[in-house]
Structure 1
Amino acid sequence: MKLQANGIQIEVDDSGADGSQNERPVVLLIMGLGMQLIGWPPDFVQPLVDAGFRVVRYDNRDIGLSQGFEHAGKHSLVWQTLRQRIGLRVRSAYTLQDMANDALGVLDALGVQRAHVIGASMGGMIAQRLAATAPDRVRSLTSIMSSSGARGLPGPHPEIARSLMRRPAGRSEDALVDFSVGFIKLIASPAYPYEASALATRVRTGIRRAYRPDGVVRQMLAIGADSDRPTVLSRIKSPTLVLHGEADKLVPLECGQDSARRIPGARFVTIPGMGHDLPPQVSAILLDHIIPFVRSAGEAP
C-alpha cells in the first residue's frame, strides 16, 4: 500500500494492515542499498510475526514502488568518489537524514508512536540516524552488517569495489538477472550458500517488481555524503544490538565494530561464516539474537 510519508509516496507492507495487530509492539524493517522491501525474506519476517510483533517494512525512496527522484538528476558516481577521496564534499540529491525522516513519516502515517527499528547495511545507517534524531520514537535499534561511516575504516574487497562500478551486459531480463546474481555471489555468506535456482528466482522477482539503477546511484551518493554520522552516533540512547558477519567483504567487520564502539552501551555480536546477505540459515541465526533482544528492550509480547 502507498502512504504519504515525509511529503513523498512510500510503498509499505504492514503485517497489521487489517487492524488485527494494533496492540502488538511494532518492528520497523529498513532495507539496504538498492534493495526493495521484499529484500526482507519471509523467513525473516514471519518468525517476528509468529513471536507476537507487528512487522512493517517499506521501499526506501527512489527504489521499488516508492517515489523516485529522477527530477534530481544523477551526479557522476566516479567523479563524486574522487571528490570524497580528496576530502571534498560528495554531492547528492538527498541525504540519509532525509531517508530517516521517511522512516519517521511511515510511523506517523501508521499512527505508530514507538517502534523497534532494524536496519540492514544502508538501512542500518538510516536506522542509526533515526535513533539519534528521534530517540523518543525508537524503542530499540538493531544494526545489521552496517557501518558508522567513519573515515579510515576498510572499504569493500577490491573485486567487489570493481563490481560496484560495472554495468550489466545488456538490458534484457536474463542479462539483468545474471548480473545481479553474479554480484550477490561475490558478497554472499560462504558458510551458507544459496541454492542456485532459488537465488535466480528471487532476483527475477525483484527485477519484475521494479528495476531502478539510477536510484541505486543516488542512494550510493547519499551514503557518501553522510560524513558526520560518526559523531551523531553518540546521541543514541535506545538499547542497541549490532550484528555483523565475520566474512563480510562488502562492509568489513571493522565497520560494525566501530558502530558498536560509538553507540553508548551497544552490544556487538559477530556471526561466523556470514557475509553480506540474508540466506535462510543466516536469518535464523540473526533472529536467535534479535527476538530475545527486542523482547527485553521494550513492551514485548
Structure 2
Amino acid sequence: MKIRANGIDIEVEDSAQTDASFASKPAVLLIMGLGMQLIAWPPEMVHALEDAGLRVVRFDNRDVGLSSHFDALGKPNLLWASVKYKLGLVPAAPYTLGDMAADALGVLDALKIDQAHVVGVSMGGMIAQRVALAAPQRTLSLTSIMSTSGARGLPQAAPEVVRVLLSRPAGTSTAAVVEHTMRLFKAIGSPAYPAPEAEMRTRVTEGVQRAFHPVGTARQMLAVVADVTRAALLGRITAPTLVIHGKADPLVPLACGEDTARRIPGAKLLTIDGMGHDLPPEPVRQILAALIPHLKATA
C-alpha cells in the first residue's frame, strides 16, 4: 500500500494489512539496503517474525521500488564523489541518510506506531543507526546486519566487487538487467551458501519487473558516501543493539561490523561463518536464532 510519510509517497507492506490482530503487537521495522526493494526480505524471515508475535513493517526506501523517485535532483557523478572522498573531502549528496531515517520514522507516524524494533541490512543498517540516534524514545531495539559505522579507514569492498557494482547492464531489456544483477549477486553472495541459479534468477526477475531505477540507487550510494559523521555519534545510541555480520562479506568486510559493535555501548556481536552480503536460508536461520530473543528481551 502507498502511504504519505515525511512529505513523500512510500510503498509499505504491513502485517496488520492482512491480519488486524497484528496492529496491537510489537512492531519490527525492516529497512532494506542499497537499491533493494521491500520484496528482498526473505519470506521465511518475515513469517518467522510474525510467528514470534511481531508486527512486521517493510517499505521501499526513497528513490527505489514503488516509493517516490527523486529524478529532479539529477544524476550523481559517483566517480568524482569517490575521488573527493579519498581526498578527505565530503561529496555533496542530493539527500542524506538522515533524510532516509526521517522517511522511516514517517512510516511509523503514518501507521500510528509509537515505538518499534528497528532492523536494517547494509545501507538499511546505516539508516537504522540514524533512526536510533534521531529518535531514541521510539527505538525499542536496534539490529544492524552486514552494515558499517562508516568510519574512515575501515576495509573497503573487494576490487572485483566494486567493478561489478559500478558496471552497467549490456542493454535496457529485462534480460540484460537480470543478467547484470545476477553477476552482482553472485559477486557479493555467501561462498558457503550459494543460491541455486534458477531460484536466484526468479527472484531477480521479480525485482526487475516490479521496478528498476538505477539512478535512484546511485543517489542512495552518494548519501552513504557523504554520511561521514555517523561513526562519531554511535556512542550516543541507548537502544539495546545487536550487530550481525558475515565473516565472508566481500562488499562490507567483517571489520566494519566489528567496528559498529565496538562503538555502540553494550552492543552484542554475532558473526556467521561463510556468510557474504546476502540472506540465504542457513544464515537467515542463524540470524533469527539471535534476532528473535533480542527482540523479545527488549519488548
SS of residue matched to 2:93: coil
Question: Secondary structure of 2:61's partner?
Answer: coil
CA distance in 2, matches of 1:26, 1:129: 18
Q: In the aligned structure 2, how far is the partner of 1:135 from the partner of 1:250?
A: 29
**Whole-Å separation in 2 of the counterparts to 1:206 and 1:51:** 27
- Aligned residue in 2 for 1:2: 2
Moved over 6 A (4+): none
Deviations 1:195-234 (A, max 9, x none): 1100000000000000000000000000000010011111
Q: Which residue of 2 aligns with 1:12?
A: 12
Map Cα deviations across residues 80-135 of structure 1 (whole Å, 9 max, x no partner). Answer: 11111101111111000000000000000000000001000000000000001100
d(CA) in 1 for partners of 2:88, 2:294 = 38
Is the 8 Å Cα contact of residues 120 and 143 (structure 2) preserved in structure 1? yes
- 280-289 or 267-276, which deviates more: 280-289
Q: Distance in 2 between matches of 1:86 and 1:249?
A: 24
State the TM-score, normalized to the length of structure 2: 0.99
C-alpha separation between the residues in 1 aligned to 2:216 and 2:76? 11
Match of 1:200 in 2: 201
3-state SS of paired residue (1:111): coil
1:101 aligns with 102
- Give the aligned residue type for 2:210: R
Alpha-carbon shift at residue 267 of structure 1 (Å): 0.4
| Aligned counterparts of 1:166 and 1:21: Cα–Cα separation in 2 | 42
How many Å separate the matches in 2 of 1:86 and 1:23? 50
Q: Which letter maps to 2:30?
A: L
2:132 is the counterpart of 1:131: yes
Which letter does structure 1 place at the counterpart of 2:261? A
1:226 counterpart = 2:223? no
Contact 2:164 2:183 in 1 (8 A): no
Give the conservation status (yes or no) of the 8 Å contact 1:160–1:187. yes
Deviates more, 1:18-27 or 1:203-212: 18-27
Contact map agreement 1:129 1:232 (CA 8 A) in 2: no
Residue 24 of structure 1 corresponds to 25
**Alpha-carbon deviation of 1:158?**
0.8
User: SS at the partner of 2:21?
Assistant: coil
For 1:1-301, what aligned pairs fall within 5 Å after superposition? 1-17=1-17, 18-298=19-299
Q: Once the 2 structures are TM-superposed, how far is the Cα of residue 19 of structure 1 from its aligned partner?
A: 2.4
In the aligned structure 2, how far is the partner of 1:161 from the partner of 1:292?
A: 35
* Unaligned runs of at least 5 residues, structure 1: none
Amino acid at match of 1:169: A
The unaligned stretches of length 5 or more in structure 2 are none
Alpha-carbon distance, 1:280 to partner:
1.6
Q: What is the TM-score with the length of structure 1 in the denominator?
A: 0.98
The alignment of Structure 1 onto Structure 2 pairs a total of residues equal to: 298
Amino acid at match of 2:171: G
| 1:37 partner letter | L
Higher mean C-alpha displacement, 229-238 vs 143-152: 229-238
Please report the RMSD computed on the Cα atoms of aligned residues, expressed in angstroms: 0.7
- In structure 1, C-alpha distance between the alignment counterparts of 2:283 and 2:38, rounded to whole Å: 18
How high is the sequence identity, in percent, across the aligned residues?
Answer: 57
Residue 283 (structure 1) shift: 1.2
Give the letter aligned to residue 200 of structure 1.
R
- Amino acid corresponding to residue 126 of structure 1 in structure 2: I
Deviation per CA, 1:114-162: give whole Å up to 9, x if none. Answer: 0001000000000000001100000000000000000000000010011
Q: Give the SS at the match of 2:206.
A: helix
SS of the equivalent of 1:21 reads helix
Q: For 1:281 and 1:178, how far apart are their aligned partners in 2?
A: 25
In 1: Cα distance, 2:90 partner to 2:257 partner: 24
User: How many Å separate the matches in 1 of 2:75 and 2:81?
Assistant: 11
SS in structure 2 at match of 1:22: helix
Whole-Å Cα distance in 2 between the matches of residues 179 and 74 of structure 1?
20
